[in-house]
Structure 1
Amino acid sequence: MRPRNTTQVRPEKPARTASAPAGPLARLAGGCYRHRWLVVACWLIATSALLVLGFRYAAAADHDFSGGASESAHAQALLRQHFADQNGDTLTLAVTAKKPLTDRAVRARVESLLGALSDAPHIVAVADPYRTPGQISGDRHTGYATIRSSQDQISADTVTPLLDKVKRASGGGVTFALGGDAVLSVEQPPGGPSEGVGLLAAVIVILISFGSLLAMGLPLTTALFGIGTGLAGIELLGHLLPAPSFTPVVSALIGLGVGVDYALFIVTRYREALHGGAGRDASHSGADPERATVVAITTAGRAVLFAGSTVVIALAGLFVMQQPLLDATAVAASVTVLATMAAAVTLLPALLGFAGRNIDRLRLPYFGRTSTTSPLAARWAGTIQRHPVIGLVAGAAVLLALAVPALSMRLGFADASTAPRDTSAYATHRMLADAFGPGRDAPLVIVTDGSAGTLRRVAAAVSHTPGVATVTPVRTSADGRAAEFVAIPTTGTQDAATPKLVHRLRDSVIPRAAAGQRVYVGGPNASTIDFADSVATRLPWLIAIVVSLSLVVLLVLVRSVVIAVKAAVMTLLSTLAAYGVLTVVVQWGWFGHALGFATAQPITTWVPLFVFPILFGLSTDYEVFLVSRIREEYDGGADTREAVRRGLASTARIITAAAAIMVLVFLTVLLGDDPAVKQFGLGLAVAVLLDATLVRMVLVPALMELLGAANWWLPRWLDRVLPGRPAGRNRAVRRNRDGAAVRGPDPAAHG
């Protein structure tokens, strides 16, 4: 019998005698390693220049989600065209007093403050409650003034001095509070200490994993260069694609997570090649530093490029929503991911050139191991493989149970009613809701460019509709070509009855009264409802497009239809489970106060839109690193069971560390103030945690054990069509049922 022939390197032979990796990535890695001084200098100069330009000439944020072809967008366009006095952002000054507001002393204090506010920069009009009907409550103890600015979105520089004046004016039985979207933005900024705490969390996790200060510093340095470049770039990009203020925070979170993870995977593979493979500790028995760098980039670096491309492709799926601000945020996050990818495959090889064999210097006692193989993970994989049905059923049952609450998920935007109780915005809401009803914060502006007489009939019909508290008199524009009135609901913005009222007015009440004339229901509340409806309608298309594009990327990398489809299904389960947890915590209010949510509230409309594509990209990262390692073992001669066991043992520790970094980074946003960003971080943290534990450690090995050789099924025609077909792959070493290595075409690869 001929001796068994395998592709494995003999243990006693140095790994560097094997043939060196070839291809564009190998040439890139070798070039960056040899010209490391030049590479680092280029990154320093480029990053510094972008930081100076980006943050000095940053574009202003944009929060107008009313764009598109919705009814509220048409209403807004008419108001801007015909009612110039309503253009510009507004603030609301609320006042409550122990004595009636008509008391001479109280009135003097109110009018003094109104005068001071009207003299502030960018303030063009103040609707005095004493001269504007309906702005003093029936008991005459509460009133409000509407303050209009010349700015479409009042800047923080304008709002902050006004807040100070209002706070100083309160006291002596009279309480003032200032509210409005601009006040919410100032009192609940999207940033905060989260990025710094997230970076500290990443340091701790990498130190525990590597046990070396130098090995810890390389991933962090690489990630920071990539994030800094990306964030500076998106500040400049904002001049072409205006984006909301939460965009830099979302981009920084994603960039920090993937940037550290990508560098972590490459450094791990470098150390493994340097030490002669997993489980070997003799530093001089493996490859030399240059070849170890090339090996790391051509293996883990290749996976990084595929994984990062999947994140970018997934974010591109947001364009199906046809919402300019979401498009801008998707582009900004993609730029950050691309910057971290570029840093991982160019800057990191240069830094590895400086580290060389000293990668494990400055070690900390009791932390980290040189070996990347986890015996515990190997034993766990064996346990799951012996009981695959139990593992599959139990894991799927947990994910499905967590996903059930998502069926009741409602979408909306945070407003003053969901703000922390110690803010001026919430005080304004509470004072006016108690005096005028909760619908005061949810006005519906009803406008037409037709007959004002018809609109008066519409106003009469709306006023008699259940759920409507009051309507204002019909007002005709100065040019006589449009008319409008305001309807105040009996329920607030966050109440489920308010969207139902809007749909009832649009579907039946207004069409019957308007008799064919076009009448539009608009205003901030209607814009929120329209945006939520658009999300609910287009979300299935987003899911279909992201899944389809990601399947193509996975097919090219792992060359298996079964594994690609399995990855998509698992990610969908993780996403639905994350949606379910968000619904329970944020909407139902379970543990909400403990996690920093002031009150139960609907899920912010943009949060599920971003959680899905980002999670799909991140979970594909772990799938790529795990399955590509399993594929290496399989193509090296192991059968499917052994390949899964070895692949899981080799990647479990690093995937766990990477997931821990992601989870901690995302959870740090709970320290901030913006409820939407907190929902975003919580949803991603839960999803990544589930994906790295239940999916990677239970469902993947259980399914691969049950499917056996079918895991690698790829039709011949698809094998020929897909790019990057490895030369001689069908002659790869494999094992028969008896465990012997054999050569020849692999029947499992072609159905």
Structure 2
Amino acid sequence: MHEGPLVRLARFCYRRRRRVLLFWIVGAVAVMAVGFGFSAPADNSFAGGDTESARAQNLIKEHFPQQNGDTLTLAIHADGDVTAVRPRVERVLTALAHAPHVASVTSPYQAPEQISPDRHTAFAPVQLDRVSADVPKAGVVKMISDVRDASGNGLTLALGGATVTDAETPGGGPTEGIGLLAAVIVLLIAFGSLLAMGLPIVTAIFGIGTGLAGISILGHVLPAPSFSPIVAGLIGLGVGVDYALFIVTRYREALDGGADPEKATGMAIVTAGRSVLFAGTTVVLALLGLLVMQQRLLSSIAVAASVTVLMTMIAAVTLLPALLGFTGRRIDRFKLPLLARRSGRAPLSERWAGLIQRRPVIAGTAAGVLLLVLAVPALSMRLSFNDSSTQPHDTSSYTSHRILTDGFGPGYDAPLIGVSTSADGASAVAAAVGRTPGVASVTPVRTSQDGAASLFIAYPKTGLEDVATPALVHRLRDTVVPRAAGNAQVLIGGANAGTIDFSDSVTSRLPYLIAVVVGLSLLLLLVFVRSVAIAVKAAVMNLLSIASAYGVLTAIVQWGWLGRQLGFPVGMPVTAWVPLFMFPILFGLSTDYEVFLISRIREEYDLGAETRVAVTRGLARTARVITAAAAIMVCVFLSVLLVGQIDVKQVGLGLGVAVLIDATIVRMVLVPAVMELLGRANWWLPGWLARILPVAEPPAATAPLPGRVEEPAG
């Protein structure tokens, strides 16, 4: 066996297994104690950068410090005139004004514009002294409960706002547990042994635990959204179990081939472990490609997920060899009789590969057409952010949205803030904005206490998710404001304008992300497989599978196909950051499967098999383990459909569908079909490129695959 760095690492971890295990236990406990004990507060704002909304927010922070916190809205609906229930409403307003972290409450009875024309509906802004992430959830829940208890007898009250939505949205819930249970079941079917099943689970838990603790520590430097641990944990669980699964599978194969446990560990790490390092590095670099978007929270999500993937990868090539040292030849202890491995006739995957190779044009064309059909809905994808209309209908957020929409129109959930350092300029612009088609109303201009700035609030006639709202914002900025402002500078900002700016930024910088991610992945694949054709083929197929996942996501979330059954209450735009975040993850994960499959095909080819035989054998060796790995990821990702956060559900749905498509249509059909058509061209590498490409550590020599391979039952 080649005595490279990976072999030496495997032997060290195997021989010093007690020290390695102790190091991991002590290190994990220490990191988790610090990370979870001193975690940084979350930051859920996607605003920032040099956008107009960000500049407007900076002016507001500087001159209107009382508005630096988030704002709640008390929605009021009376069966009769709201003035008839004034005493009851004012008691609630007084209670809210004395609640912790409430800076001010503006009564509708002192602001006539806060009462609807039919006088059945009103609202009262509740200004907090801090942002949502810094407001204790228990205090918000109590305010929600007190307001709800004050309803009845012809009066309906409900609190709305981002802080309320955060308080009412459950966290990760049972998703991690369900994902872990699914991984256990799939591993039991794949291995047929309790001990073999436990090794990937233990390895993944160590990697995920240290990774999530690292995210909490990094949050002090790079604040991340509250859902980052959920997303990072799901990705970490998926890849962590999969990476260990591939290594344990190679270890068992080496034992079956006659190797002793130490040599089998070295062979597993230098083959499957080598693939894990390349695959994990691809995922990490693909995620870090999000840095080119220059969006602070996207960067923090990318770093958070990358840290978790990195720790699971390190655990797979250091902790797992130590655990294999403890198990030795007892890897198949505690067998489950019905799932025990059997040998005999050729496995289904080998027969399937033969079928595809006999009709490569038909198979490849059919698979390609199917992927393109699945991708068609993505052409109509709309990007936005979710508002209260997508919340469960029994929540205070949705009730508040419904009251305001019925009384004032949907635009009261999407206010725009105009801010200027010129009082005259702000007044002129406010008047012009009020006359603009699509604007429902504009509040009077207010001047800051220092007299240096003025602001007004404009309410559109349409909601945030309506395509007319972004069009209105662009019209105000491009035409209405410049004409009315004269020499004064008036900025249109606010949280909702910030989401529009974010979506515009995504559209403009997405090509850079695609170029960076695809370019880095191509380079890594060239180094790993040393083949131009395979690297380019992998990139094209990855793009096809991602486009197909986008199409399915659009059809379910935006078009509403099976939306209600999957937890999406209404048809809605795709959350702006979701497809952007999905792209590098999916490209990295698709490259993972390409690496694991092609590495086995390349091993057979290097042992002297012709391309057709190498493909058949490689697919036969990897189909079952790739299917198991994909099944684990699909179950893990789809488990987030049980959480309350719509955007996290979209991430899980998109990732789960993409992995399913990639592991079936792409790996099982397109790859063998295209490789059959390319023949010897699969391995083409120009001499000049071969000389400049770095040479990765070659895998250990393995015995050629016999005519028939052993197949696990199940």
Which category of TM-score, normalised to the shorter sequence, fits these structures?
Answer: over 0.9
**Which residue of structure 1 lines up, in the alignment, with residue 62 of structure 2?**
81
**Which residue of structure 2 lines up, in the alignment, with residue 5 of structure 1?**
none
Deviation of the 1:174 alpha carbon? 1.8
**Which residue of structure 2 lines up, in the alignment, with residue 361 of structure 1?**
333
Q: Is the 8 A contact 2:42 2:225 kept in 1?
A: yes
Alignment of 1:227-246 (within 5 A): 227-246=208-227
**Which residue of structure 1 lines up, in the alignment, with residue 532 of structure 2?**
561
Which amino acid in 2 is paired with 1:113?
V
Deviation of the 1:214 alpha carbon? 0.5
Q: Is the 8 A contact 1:21 1:295 kept in 2?
A: no
Deviation of the 1:511 alpha carbon? 1.5
Q: Distance in 1 between matches of 2:304 and 2:463?
A: 34
**Which residue of structure 2 lines up, in the alignment, with residue 427 of structure 1?**
399
2:456 is the alignment partner of 1:475 = no
Q: Distance in 1 between matches of 2:126 and 2:426?
A: 27
SS, match of residue 27 in structure 2 = helix
Question: 310, 327, 335: which one pairs with 1:338?
Answer: 310
Q: Distance in 2 between matches of 1:372 and 1:688?
A: 30
Question: 640, 643, 650: which one pairs with 2:614?
Answer: 643
Q: Is the 8 A contact 1:59 1:236 kept in 2?
A: yes
Deviation of the 1:482 alpha carbon? 1.8
2:387 is the alignment partner of 1:415 = yes
**Which residue of structure 2 lines up, in the alignment, with residue 189 of structure 1?**
170
Q: Is the 8 A contact 1:372 1:653 kept in 2?
A: no
Number of aligned residues: 702
SS, match of residue 125 in structure 1 = strand
SS, match of residue 112 in structure 2 = coil
**Which residue of structure 2 lines up, in the alignment, with residue 380 of structure 1?**
352
2:682 is the alignment partner of 1:711 = yes
Per the normalisation by structure 1, the TM-score is 0.91
2:605 is the alignment partner of 1:624 = no
Deviation of the 1:145 alpha carbon? 1.3
Which amino acid in 2 is paired with 1:107?
R
Q: Distance in 2 between matches of 1:202 and 1:361?
A: 19
Q: Distance in 2 between matches of 1:97 and 1:474?
A: 29
Per-residue CA deviation, residues 22-47 of structure 1 (Å, 9 max, x unaligned), is 11111111111111111111111111
Q: Is the 8 A contact 1:373 1:650 kept in 2?
A: no
Q: Distance in 1 between matches of 2:570 and 2:145?
A: 26
2:373 is the alignment partner of 1:392 = no
Q: Is the 8 A contact 1:637 1:733 kept in 2?
A: no
2:544 is the alignment partner of 1:573 = yes
Alignment of 1:599-678 (within 5 A): 599-678=570-649
Q: Distance in 2 between matches of 1:184 and 1:691?
A: 35
Deviation of the 1:528 alpha carbon? 0.6
The CA RMSD over aligned residues, in Å, is 1.9
Q: Distance in 1 between matches of 2:346 and 2:634?
A: 21
Q: Distance in 2 between matches of 1:371 and 1:497?
A: 63
Per the normalisation by structure 2, the TM-score is 0.96
Farther off after superposition, 597-606 or 106-115: 106-115
**Which residue of structure 1 lines up, in the alignment, with residue 88 of structure 2?**
109
Q: Is the 8 A contact 2:377 2:554 kept in 1?
A: yes
Q: Percent identity?
A: 64
Which amino acid in 2 is paired with 1:117?
L
Question: 196, 200, 213: which one pairs with 1:219?
Answer: 200
**Which residue of structure 1 lines up, in the alignment, with residue 107 of structure 2?**
128
2:655 is the alignment partner of 1:684 = yes
Farther off after superposition, 454-463 or 610-619: 454-463
Q: Distance in 2 between matches of 1:373 and 1:146?
A: 72
**Which residue of structure 1 lines up, in the alignment, with residue 708 of structure 2?**
none
Deviation of the 1:172 alpha carbon? 2.5
Q: Is the 8 A contact 1:136 1:144 kept in 2?
A: yes
Q: CA 1:716–1:484 in structure 2 vs 1: closer, same or farther (change >3 Å)?
A: same
Deviation of the 1:480 alpha carbon? 2.4
Alignment of 1:431-446 (within 5 A): 431-446=403-418
Q: Distance in 1 between matches of 2:4 and 2:144?
A: 61
Deviation of the 1:722 alpha carbon? 1.1
Q: Is the 8 A contact 1:271 1:370 kept in 2?
A: no
SS, match of residue 485 in structure 1 = strand
Q: Distance in 2 between matches of 1:192 and 1:234?
A: 19
Q: CA 1:135–1:726 in structure 2 vs 1: closer, same or farther (change >3 Å)?
A: closer
SS, match of residue 509 in structure 1 = helix
Gaps of 5+ in 2: 705-714
Alignment of 1:269-418 (within 5 A): 269-276=250-257, 286-369=258-341, 375-418=347-390
Per-residue CA deviation, residues 201-256 of structure 1 (Å, 9 max, x unaligned), is 11111111111100100000000010001001111110111000110001000000
Q: Is the 8 A contact 1:719 1:725 kept in 2?
A: no
Q: Is the 8 A contact 2:48 2:296 kept in 1?
A: yes
**Which residue of structure 2 lines up, in the alignment, with residue 137 of structure 1?**
116
Q: Distance in 2 between matches of 1:732 and 1:198?
A: 34
Deviation of the 1:176 alpha carbon? 1.4
Q: Is the 8 A contact 1:666 1:682 kept in 2?
A: yes
Question: 566, 573, 579: which one pairs with 1:595?
Answer: 566
**Which residue of structure 2 lines up, in the alignment, with residue 530 of structure 1?**
501
SS, match of residue 492 in structure 2 = strand
Deviation of the 1:159 alpha carbon? 1.0
Q: Distance in 1 between matches of 2:316 and 2:425?
A: 64
SS, match of residue 450 in structure 2 = coil
Gaps of 5+ in 1: 1-19, 277-285, 735-751
Which amino acid in 2 is paired with 1:495?
D
Q: Distance in 2 between matches of 1:618 and 1:674?
A: 24
Which amino acid in 2 is paired with 1:30?
R
Q: Distance in 2 between matches of 1:566 and 1:160?
A: 53
Q: Distance in 2 between matches of 1:643 and 1:99?
A: 79
Which amino acid in 1 is paired with 2:628?
A
Q: Is the 8 A contact 1:89 1:150 kept in 2?
A: yes
Deviation of the 1:600 alpha carbon? 0.9
Q: Distance in 2 between matches of 1:313 and 1:190?
A: 28
Per-residue CA deviation, residues 495-519 of structure 1 (Å, 9 max, x unaligned), is 1111111111111122222234322
Which amino acid in 2 is paired with 1:132?
A
Q: Is the 8 A contact 2:275 2:595 kept in 1?
A: yes
Q: Distance in 1 between matches of 2:353 and 2:253?
A: 21
Q: Is the 8 A contact 1:67 1:73 kept in 2?
A: yes
2:188 is the alignment partner of 1:207 = yes
Q: Distance in 2 between matches of 1:287 and 1:76?
A: 65
Q: Is the 8 A contact 2:441 2:459 kept in 1?
A: yes
SS, match of residue 599 in structure 1 = coil
Q: Is the 8 A contact 2:582 2:655 kept in 1?
A: yes
Question: 133, 136, 151: which one pairs with 1:155?
Answer: 136
Q: Is the 8 A contact 1:266 1:296 kept in 2?
A: yes
**Which residue of structure 2 lines up, in the alignment, with residue 282 of structure 1?**
none
Deviation of the 1:189 alpha carbon? 3.1
Q: CA 1:701–1:728 in structure 2 vs 1: closer, same or farther (change >3 Å)?
A: closer
Q: Distance in 1 between matches of 2:637 and 2:164?
A: 26
Which amino acid in 2 is paired with 1:333?
A
Q: Is the 8 A contact 1:270 1:296 kept in 2?
A: yes
Q: Is the 8 A contact 2:425 2:489 kept in 1?
A: no
